Structure formats: structure tokens, C-alpha cells
Amino acid sequence: MGIGLILRSFGLAIGQLSDRRFRRVFFLGIALALALLIGFTAAFAGFLDWMVPEKLWLPILGEVTWINDLVSWGALFLMLFLSIILMVPVASAITSMFLDEVADAVEAKHFPDLPQATKVPFGEALRDTINFLGVLVGANVLALVLYALFAPAALFIFWGVNGFLLGREYFTMVAIRWVGRIEAKKLRRRYTGTIWIAGILMAMPLSVPFLNLVIPILGAATFTHLYHGLTRPRHETGSLHHPRRSDLTG
């Protein structure tokens, strides 16, 4: 059921691009991701330009004056390279910002029988985002050791580590809207394998320049479908069986 459900969820997410409400968030997410990448790249290029002297003396070559020009002309390639590294935290930030809009659009079209989900308060969502970014950065720093030790498998390690982390975040953010934080963690543990595989399938295109720009919003939509596919009984065609957060706390 796992792979089939994941692929079906992703296909439904792509299919919703015909929905004007969803398409607006989709293109807004792409624009924001691109703006963040350009901003990061410009800042990094500026730092390199500041660090590299206008004239540099090198053995054999003598005085070199073209290093700054190389940095400037290499900005596009620099952005492509940095997009592979930076798109994971960028995807996390964008998903946190637009999750409610994406999930509402998906549920309005594909799950019209559902009541309105409980929105996560902004302060709580911001705290979760900051905490997750810390975990994400820390895990990737530690993974550098594995990249060095197992260089031929570095890309697969990157996908595995970030797929696990992104899957956990995507699923948790969707689930919290319906069943609260405690139950969301229980569901996440119950479906760890499926969530991890889905996260890897999101992490893989995040390492492809330009393609990675469309993944944050599509990932949020995919995990919305995945959550409902995992938690709604297969025979269900009518009313919702999920407990509301108010039910759990009351």
C-alpha cells in the first residue's frame, strides 16, 4: 500500500495545478523559493567578493587579477550549486508558511466531507519551524562525516537523512491540524516507513536545480493526501472519523 499510496498522492497533487486556488499558492511558493535562493546566493557571492582580494599573486601564474571577475560570472553556477544544499531548509520554511492554504485547497477539492481543520497558531508554528531548522542543520552537519567516509554514497545518504527529516515534518504539520500534537506523533511512529519513503521521494528532486523550486508546495499537498490515505478507513465514503483537537483536549 505504501508506494502506491505515495505515488497516487503525488499524482493528485500535480493534478490540482488546474485548481486556481491551489495554483496561486504554488506559484507564490516558487517565487518565494527563488527569491530566497537568489538572496542567499547574492549574500554568499558578496562575502566571497569581500574575502578575495582584487589582485592575488600565485606561484607560476604570478599576479592574478581575474579572481573577482570569476566569482561574479560564476554567480549563476554558484546559485545552482547552493540550491542543492539550501533547498532543504528553504522547503521546510515555505511549507511551514503555506501549509494551511495548501491543505485547505486539497481538502476542499478531494475531501469535501471533512469539517474545517484546526489551524495551528502562528507562534506555535513559528516555534516548530525554528526547532526543525535547528535539527535539520545539525543533522546535515553531522552527516558531513558520513559524506566524507562514504563519498560514493553521499547523495544517497543526503536523500536518506533529509527524506527522513522532511517526511517527519510534512506529516506532523498536516496531522496536527486534525488530531493534535500527541496523536500526530503516534501516527508518525505507526507509519514511519511510508513517511520516510515519501520524504525521500520529496528530497530527491530537491537536489535537482530548478525542479527543486516546485517541490515545497507539491510536497505539502502530497502529504495532505498521504495523511488522509493512511488514516481514513478504506471503506469510508461518508463522515469523518478523525477526532478533532478540541475533542482530544476536552
Looking at residue 87, what is its pLDDT? 78
β-pair type (62-64, 56-58): antiparallel
* 114 occurs within a structural domain: yes
CA atoms within 13 A on the CB side of 75: 16
Overall average pLDDT of the 66-80 stretch = 62
Do residues 57 and 63 lie in contact, with contact meaning Cβ atoms separated by under 8 Å? Answer: yes
Give the separation between CA 168 and CA 17, rounded to whole angstroms.
Answer: 25
Q: Is residue 48 part of a domain?
A: no
In a domain? residue 55 = no
Does pLDDT of 241 surpass 50? no
The whole-chain average pLDDT of the chain stands at 81
Q: Is residue 35 part of a domain?
A: no
Structural domain includes residue 129: yes
Contact 64, 57 (CB under 8 A): yes
- Boundaries of domain holding 16: 2-20+83-249
pLDDT over 90 at 113, yes or no:
no
Tally of domains within the chain: 1
Range 62-65, long-range pairs (CB < 8 A, 24+ positions): none
Q: Give the C-alpha separation, 234 to 22, whole Å.
A: 26
How many angstroms from the chain centroid is the CA of residue 37?
A: 14
Is the per-residue pLDDT at 188 higher than 90?
A: yes
pTM to 2 decimals?
Answer: 0.79
Question: Is 40 part of any domain?
Answer: no
CA distance 137 to 237: 42
DSSP state, residue 112: T
Residue 118 domain flag = yes
- What whole-number distance in Å separates Cα of residue 66 and Cα of residue 40? 23
CA 204 – CA 160 distance, rounded (Å): 9
How much of the chain, in percent, has pLDDT values that exceed 70?
Answer: 77
Q: What is the mean pLDDT of residues 159-168?
A: 93
Task: Give, for 106, the enclosing helix (H) or strand (E).
Answer: helix 75-110
**Residue 140, domain member (yes or no):** yes
Question: Nearest Cα to 246, choosing from 122, 115, 125?
Answer: 115
